[in-house]
Chains A and B, each alone.
Chain A
């Protein structure tokens, strides 16, 4: 089957040293649970979760502590048992370095589970809505890094039917190996998760896209598939080329289908899920477990013992690194995620979240300081490597000139920020930085415009209201006046006439009632 498959490719991409071997020497090791866990309420795409515990509450492991507050949001569970000691702003893993609302739990060291929901081992007979509800309850988000709520993503009702489930096991970023190790060690769970996801969206086939630098993981998956007698699921080995793990790029590689610009994979009948997400789905459905831990890679020459570790979500980065062997003297940067798309943190007092797949403690020679930016010479290297087939140099030109309309003309919002353009740029221009800047400015302008539109509409409504009230007032006045005039007209004419008429009537009555006057008495 694999040899019959047509080899598709995507435009551009760059070959990078993968640096995977450093962290795959040892099996995944479970780290102890720290004394304090910090759970950001916003560790997914969508609205922040709403806390359902109060400071001082005792919580059990797996207990819901924050509830999804919207359709696009994700619940958060206590990764261990203990006491809620704070709900408030804490340092969170965000490039801004700003603080955000978190629930802080102090572990009681017992790690005692709460009552978990029943496993749904017979999921194939259950309504898909129930399965989605379970995934939603478990707070599962895309674990590849984007952290989009999975329950939302698998709800494909009202969309084009899904025929293909794509499992993203490419792990194309250098250094990161957590998915690789997960597949090697939990291939059976991956296959179970795939079964559930396929059932959920009714996918006829499943394609697991995996780069050719992970032969052990691919073999483990094949083994697991053969024992499951799973039909329609296929491991597809793709060439190692960054960013093959980009959702649209991977779908193109595996199916030849091109997700429309600004469109979702569902538009071409595909659902794409990360391999670790599939395992989390299996955990939730088959074992009734919420998402409270994940495998992360700790690597780079800045740590003594690179490897992969199963850590409780909410563990601080400094704790994880200390537990995994500590920093080496060479450390210069701490990057959350990979060296191409991850972000550099100023300090390590931030928690591991659901989206954290890697702590890269990089040495000087691994992540050299950016050389000074030089003017663009329009050489077009960026065009050659852009997987979205954009003209990065033109977007840069317009972004730099603050000409955001033009930047959008050149499809700024199709940029996936993979960083290939900046990587190859001979002028060392931080192109992605310019694109983020332009996007942020455009969003800000849009918000401003919405605000001003709202203000304008309110102003117009107010003017109209005042006008209307004025008209009404005038109309009322006019009516009143008319009524008054009519009345006064009547009363001005009437009393006299009435008086006269009354007087005349009285006179007439008197005349009629009075006997004829004896004008000549005795004259008859």
Chain B
């Protein structure tokens, strides 16, 4: 009698890459819905453009590389990349810029390095930075959240603006769009205004930009869900947000009139989304337990430094990409003590 053979272990757990990615997408849902609520149709259109582009681009490059197409697309990693990128883009970004950013993320940042598992940089952030550096005007043209503007552009208007790149008849970009709280804070601080004055503006909520602060909470919820389901470890988000709070708190304590309250940093821009969904991208992040703490903390510190003294209002993308470069080195020097290894470094 002949039997099938195979290498041990013969059992396999229920995990799969598809499952992991699906859980990430599921965890993104509350934050995404919140963003839709505050910023309207534009985000949904961006999401659709990015996802379709990512899937088509991934399929095309897999065909070119002679790799299995369906078996790879099913892992949903391209969808996750597109989704994260779309969340980071201004809601009325011209469609071709979304296409360009997504294609760059998938083709250059991911597939040309070997596809899933081999990309040294977070693809979504690589695509985002390409767009931010290339198209600074459109990339900083955010909508004010619904609570401030009172009326978001309709679906038809959103489609018109995204696909034509022009504002609806009789309106200008200045009327429709608004700066992000981080941008606003930066501009006003550069005009030597005090934090207490800036906070009187209707733009501000309890601890961040009005509307914006709540988006962060919903992403936080998704992030905690991922930690609970063991999709990500607590280390990177905790150390990144902890370090950001610590550094921001330190400067705030020194001078609360030129440095915003620490929670402002936490609930503005991409901090929460970045901490739970972007910095934790396992492929490009640090993989040792101690390394993850260092990796996360350094991202947090860099976010503060670039936001405060750098040339851009937000810094999650740059910080993550910079630490992506450092991850292999961090990993090498933070190998855990193995079973039976003496506590002193004798190995």
Contacts and interface: CB of A to CB of B under 8 A. Distances in A.
Interface of A: 10-11, 14, 16, 95, 174, 248, 252, 258-263, 318, 327, 331-335, 339-348, 362, 367-372, 374-381, 383-384, 387-391, 393-394, 410-411, 414, 417-420, 422-428, 430, 432-433, 436
A261 B347 contact: yes
A377 B282 contact: yes
Contacts of B340: 248, 258-263, 388, 414
B289 interface: yes
Nearest to A387: B339
Given A259-B340, A339-B8, A375-B118, 10 more contacts: A11-B339, A248-B340, A258-B339, A340-B9, A348-B3, A375-B115, A380-B233, A389-B339, A414-B338, A426-B20
B5 A344 contact: yes
A363 B156 CA distance: 58
Interface of B: 1-13, 15-17, 19-20, 71, 75, 77, 114-118, 230, 233, 282-283, 285, 287-289, 331, 335-342, 347
Given A375-B118, A380-B287, A428-B16, A340 B338 contact: no
7 contacts: A261-B340, A261-B341, A342-B8, A344-B10, A378-B283, A380-B287, A423-B9
Nearest to A364: B4
Nearest to B235: A380
Contacts of A340: 8-11
Given A347-B1, A388-B339, A371 B11 contact: no
Given A348-B1, A424-B15, A377 B283 contact: yes
A466 B15 CA distance: 66
In order of increasing CB-CB distance, the 7 nearest A-B pairs are A419-B9, A375-B117, A261-B340, A426-B15, A433-B7, A344-B5, A340-B9
B117 A339 contact: no
A378 B287 contact: yes
A344 B6 contact: yes
Contact of A261 (B77, B335, B338): B338
Nearest to A380: B287
A380 B4 CA distance: 30
A348 B341 CA distance: 42
Contact of A389 (B3, B116, B118, B336): B336
Most chain-A CB neighbours within 10 Å: which of B4, B19, B114, B230? B4
**Centre residue among A258, A378, A410, A427 by max chain B CB count within 10 A:** A378
A335 B9 CA distance: 11
A331 B3 contact: yes
B177 to A, nearest CB: 37
Contacts of B19: 426
A391 B335 CA distance: 8
Given A14-B13, A414-B339, A341 B6 contact: no
A124 to B, nearest CB: 34
A367 B10 contact: yes
Q: Which of B2, B4, B336, B340 has the most CB of A within 10 A?
A: B340
Nearest to A302: B3
**Residue among B7, B117, B347 with the most chain A CB within 10 A?**
B7
Which residue, B1, B116, B288, has most C-beta atoms of chain A within 10 A? B1
Contacts of A394: 287, 331
Contacts of A252: 339
Contact of B11 (A174, A261, A318): A174
Contacts of B6: 333, 344, 369-370
A333 B11 CA distance: 12
Contacts of A411: 338, 341, 347
Nearest to B288: A391
Contacts of B16: 371, 426-428
Contact of A369 (B4, B7, B285): B4
Contacts of B331: 391, 394
Given A388-B338, A426-B19, A342 B3 contact: no
A420 B287 CA distance: 18
A37 B345 CA distance: 53
Given A339-B10, A383-B287, A261 B1 contact: no
B13 A341 contact: no
B4 A375 contact: no
Nearest to B284: A378
A371 B12 contact: yes
Given A331-B3, A347-B1, A394-B331, A423 B13 contact: yes
A261 B339 contact: yes
A371 B233 CA distance: 26
B12 A341 contact: no
Contacts of B338: 261, 388-390, 411, 414
A367 B3 CA distance: 12
Nearest to A11: B339
Contacts of A391: 287-288, 331, 335-336
B16 to A, nearest CB: 5
A17 to B, nearest CB: 9
A436 B7 CA distance: 10
Given A11-B339, A374-B75, A388-B339, A419 B347 contact: no
A464 B93 CA distance: 80
Contact of A377 (B3, B116, B230): B116
Contacts of B17: 374, 377, 426-427
A346 B5 contact: yes
Contacts of A174: 11
B114 to A, nearest CB: 8
A27 B179 CA distance: 78
Contacts of B116: 374-375, 377
A333 B339 contact: no
A369 B4 CA distance: 9
Given A11-B339, A377-B17, A341 B347 contact: no
A20 to B, nearest CB: 15
Contact of A419 (B1, B8, B337, B339): B8
Contacts of A341: 8-9
A232 to B, nearest CB: 26
Contact of B15 (A258, A375, A380, A381): A381
Contacts of B9: 339-341, 418-420, 422-423, 432
B313 to A, nearest CB: 31
Contacts of A343: 8
B5 A10 contact: no
Contacts of A417: 8
A162 to B, nearest CB: 18
A297 to B, nearest CB: 15
